[in-house]
Amino acid sequence: MLDYARARAEFRWAPPESFNFAADVVDAWARDPAKLALLWCNEAGEERRYTFAQMRELSCRLAGSLAAHGLRKGDRVVVMLPRIPEWQVSMLACLRLGAIPVPCIEMLTAKDVGFRVAHSGARAAIAARASADKFGPLPVRIAVGGAPGWIDFDDALAGQLDRP
């Protein structure tokens, strides 16, 4: 670039008509089945590795489960999980489906969660077992680790096809 002022004056954004991060980015990287997407480890030294292909498969399965439970593009989903791989899977599943994730931290109180659910219009929640009691009734509730009255996260993935 030789003339910054001219380049700036002539610059025009060219956004695509449609864009889906899960489909357009993750799925593109998933073409290489060995490409590492996520390396997770905790204080105890446990480690889990996920390739983009695995993240694609898991997020497709969860998106399929959400859709099978009636969620559609534009629906809000509260995602209240600790820093575990299921958080990334849940966020990708929402994006893949066209649902709007509402990320929340676990330290919220039941009153805080109720406020966010009510004001976002959330129709679903994906939370850890330890946070399940902070939620009132919602049409779809998925808990990592299971919880009474909630769909277990692993069960939500089971039986779903690994396609969007």
pLDDT tens digit string along 36-66?
A: 999 999 999 999 999 999 999 999 999 999 9
Within-domain flag for 2: no
Total domains in the chain come to: 1
pLDDT at residue 141 tops 80: yes
For tokens 């575990």, name the residue. 84
Model confidence band, residue 160 (pLDDT cutoffs 50, 70, 90) = confident
Q: Is residue 145 part of a domain?
A: yes
Is 13 domain-assigned?
no
Residue 164 belongs to some domain of the structure: no
Domain residues for 52?
A: 18-157
pLDDT score for 2: 82
pLDDT at 16: 87
Asked, for residue 152, whether it belongs to a domain, the answer is yes
Q: In what order do the strands lie in the sheet with 151-152?
A: 100-103, 76-80, 124-128, 140-144, 151-152
d(CA 118, CA 105): 17
Within a domain: 6: no
Say what the pTM is: 0.89
Q: What is the CATH number of the domain that holds 148?
A: 3.40.50.980
Q: Note the pLDDT tens digit of each residue in 66-122.
A: 999 999 999 999 999 999 999 999 999 999 999 999 999 999 999 999 999 999 999
Confirm whether 3 is domain-assigned.
Answer: no
Residue 106 lies in a domain: yes
Task: For residues 73 and 156, give the distance between their C-alpha atoms in angstroms, rounded to a whole number.
Answer: 18
pLDDT at 104 (0 to 100): 97
